[in-house]
């Protein structure tokens, strides 16, 4: 396959990952709302992991809970930026990383836009309680995994084109030699 032909395949991989995250996250949130509302936390792995329904108006750890509309704007900007990156990426690993982050950001944006208490003020549904430290959802797992993968790829020197970021420097002698 030519390099030009590889890019659309990577784009489709990123979009497929993003759509899968969006669907799984929204389905698990719908389940959580119907099954966990009005119930005490349900232990899954003792106190380490429990199912507990919360509606989060803020960011991580409920930071900025009075500024939900700002998070809606930030989520929309993240979706636009990540969508642009997914469309340009030529590395399968980077497509997965950006797809994970795009899916997580998109599903959080949907919550902000369409959940109570109203448009652009909606609260994110959280239901995975990690030992009382924080409560999250599938989108949070995807965002974290995507960011961790992006860091790993960066540390390993893998560019979004799939090549090593410093490979050109090693092949080209410096002008001072």
Q: Which residues are catalytic?
A: 126, 140
The token pair at 110 is: 């949907």
Structure-derived torsion over alpha carbons of residues 59, 63, 66, 72, reported in degrees to the nearest 10: -20
Q: What is the C-alpha to C-alpha distance for residues 88 and 21, in angstroms, rounded to an integer?
A: 20
32 near 56, Cβ under 8 Å? no
Q: Transcribe 78-98 into DSSP letters.
A: HHHHHHHHHHH---HHHHHHH
- Give ∠ CA 152-45-128 in degrees, rounded to 5: 60
């Amino acid at each position: 396959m030519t390099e030009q032909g590889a890019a659309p395949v990577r784009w489709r991989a990123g979009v497929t990952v993003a759509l899968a995250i969006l669907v799984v996250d929204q389905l698990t949130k719908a389940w959580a709302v119907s099954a966990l509302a009005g119930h005490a936390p349900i232990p899954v792995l003792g106190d380490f992991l429990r199912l507990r329904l919360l509606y989060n108006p803020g960011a991580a750890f409920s930071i900025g809970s009075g500024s939900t509309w700002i998070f809606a704007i930030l989520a929309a900007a993240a979706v636009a930026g990540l969508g642009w990156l997914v469309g340009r990426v030529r590395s399968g690993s980077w497509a997965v990383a950006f797809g994970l982050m795009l899916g997580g950001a998109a599903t959080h944006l949907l919550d902000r836009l369409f959940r109570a208490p109203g448009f652009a003020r909606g609260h994110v549904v959280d239901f995975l309680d990690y030992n009382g430290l924080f409560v999250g959802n599938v989108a949070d797992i995807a965002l974290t995994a995507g960011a961790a993968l992006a860091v790993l790829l960066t540390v390993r020197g893998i560019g979004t084109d799939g090549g090593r970021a410093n490979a050109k420097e090693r092949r080209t002698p410096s002008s001072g030699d």
